[in-house]
Amino acid sequence: MTDRLGVGVIGTGGMGLRHAVNLDRAVARARLAAVMDVDLDRAREAAAGSGASVFTDAESLIASPDVDAVIIASPDPTHAPLATTCIELRKPALVEKPLAVTVDDAADIVEREVRVGERLLQVGFMRHFDPQHVTVRQVISSGGIGRPLLFRGWHRNPPEPVPPTSRQVLVNSAIHDLYSARWMLGQEVADIFVKGTTIDPSRSDQLDLQVITMSMDGGGIAVIEVNKDSGFGYEVGVEVTGTAGMVSTPPHHTPSVRRDGEIRQSVEPDWLARFARAYVEELAAWTGSVLDGHPTGPNAWDGYLTLTAASTGADSIEQGGPVALDTPDRPALYTSEG
């Protein structure tokens, strides 16, 4: 493999296009080698000026000899089969969340990777690379607040054109917060309880404002608010309380403006703006890990366990109470810290 990783991007929606642009312009050890989308014009637009090959078939891109590694940013139902193809062809891949649509499919991916005996997949939990979240994690890891006891997270989104279902709130949005709780506390989810309400019944009858409470297997507690119709913009933050103190992400880094008897501060419009730097850091870390042969970051096991927690949260809504998780033993392949 050369000193620059040839990366193929599958899917050129908002997330795939962002990855393609970052690979072409912002990641020194990578080059955009190929782009795939079923919409040929959109694929060509994403590849324009980069010299990347254009595909309309994902499997052909993965098998291309010019592609050293793959980013899977296509619709959710394609994640598991395309990740499986990457494992079969021994092509490292960054898979956007969720790893799979069903827990069984995610477990199957883990089993396949374990049989191969090589960590080939990283899952796109980009907060793992966000400077604010990284700083909080470093304080916790250094013992700066003592033993962590309580994770509080908030995740507020502007309304989407098509309101999500109650389950989609968990699997497509809250899944990031579930990963953060596991990562920050260094504990796994023991049980989960989800309560929700509907913000605007004229738009949806689903639970688009949810409060998630989790007991963790190390004695910690996690409480997460997820709002999919905030009406003001995009906001994410965490606060962790320990036996000796507390650490939290800072408030918005946009400037405060004082004028006409008011104090105003702008809020990011969406996740692409809020985590712009995190996406670059994520690709840089992933590229380096592939080239150097040292897998890092959220792995397939993280994708499986976090999806399990999200799916169990959906069960909690239906059952009206806490639901326990039966977490299997972590395979040896995933015991090293990423």
φ, ψ (nearest 5 deg) of residue 8: -105, 135
Q: Is residue 145, in this structure, part of any structural domain at all? A: yes
- C-alpha to C-alpha distance for 301 and 108, rounded to whole angstroms: 11
Same domain, residue pair 236 and 292: no
Which tokens go with 167? Answer: 């389950």
- Confidence (pLDDT) at 169: 98
Same domain, residue pair 190 and 140: yes
- Confidence (pLDDT) at 338: 45
Same domain, residue pair 80 and 137: no
- Confidence (pLDDT) at 63: 98
Q: Compute how many other C-beta atoms are within 10 angstroms of the C-beta atom of residue 201.
A: 8
Which own/partner pairs from 76-83 qualify as long-range (CB within 8 Å, at least 24 positions apart)? 76/101, 76/172, 77/101, 78/10, 78/11, 80/105, 80/106, 80/108, 80/109, 82/10, 82/58, 83/109, 83/121, 83/300
Same domain, residue pair 117 and 150: no
Same domain, residue pair 52 and 167: no
The residue range of the domain holding 95 is: 5-127+277-299
The candidate with the shortest Cα–Cα distance to 304, out of 281, 283, 278, 326, is 326
Q: Is residue 329, in this structure, part of any structural domain at all? A: no
Task: Say which residue the tokens 């989407």 belong to.
Answer: 160
Task: Say which residue the tokens 């019944």 belong to.
Answer: 201
Q: Side chain identity at 238, as an amino acid letter?
A: V
Which tokens go with 315? Answer: 């069960």
Residue 24 Rama label (left phi>0; alpha psi -120 to 50; beta): alpha
Same domain, residue pair 77 and 201: no
Same domain, residue pair 97 and 156: no
- C-alpha to C-alpha distance for 307 and 168, rounded to whole angstroms: 11
Q: Are 117 and 333 in contact (CB under 8 A)?
A: yes
- C-alpha to C-alpha distance for 99 and 77, rounded to whole angstroms: 9
Same domain, residue pair 294 and 311: no
Q: Which residues of the chain have pLDDT under 70?
A: 1-2, 337-338
- Confidence (pLDDT) at 2: 61
- Confidence (pLDDT) at 72: 98
pTM of the model: 0.95
Same domain, residue pair 169 and 105: no
Q: Is residue 252, in this structure, part of any structural domain at all? A: yes
Strand order in the sheet with 189-197: 246-248, 235-242, 148-156, 221-227, 209-216, 189-197, 323-324
SS3 for 97?
A: coil
Radius of gyration of the chain measured on its C-alpha atoms: 20
- C-alpha to C-alpha distance for 263 and 14, rounded to whole angstroms: 32
Same domain, residue pair 193 and 286: no
- Confidence (pLDDT) at 337: 55
Residue 288: CATH number of its domain:
3.40.50.720
φ, ψ (nearest 5 deg) of residue 139: -60, -45
Strand-strand pairing, 235-242 and 148-156:
antiparallel
- Confidence (pLDDT) at 3: 81
Same domain, residue pair 159 and 269: yes
- Confidence (pLDDT) at 261: 95
Q: Is residue 338, in this structure, part of any structural domain at all? A: no
- C-alpha to C-alpha distance for 50 and 34, rounded to whole angstroms: 9
Residue 205: CATH number of its domain:
3.30.360.10
Q: Is residue 332, in this structure, part of any structural domain at all? A: no
Query: Residue 98, preceding bond cis, omega within 30 degrees?
Result: yes
Contacts of 135 (CB under 8 A, 6+ apart): 249
Q: Is residue 337, in this structure, part of any structural domain at all? A: no
Q: Are 233 and 264 in contact (CB under 8 A)?
A: no
Total domains, the chain: 2
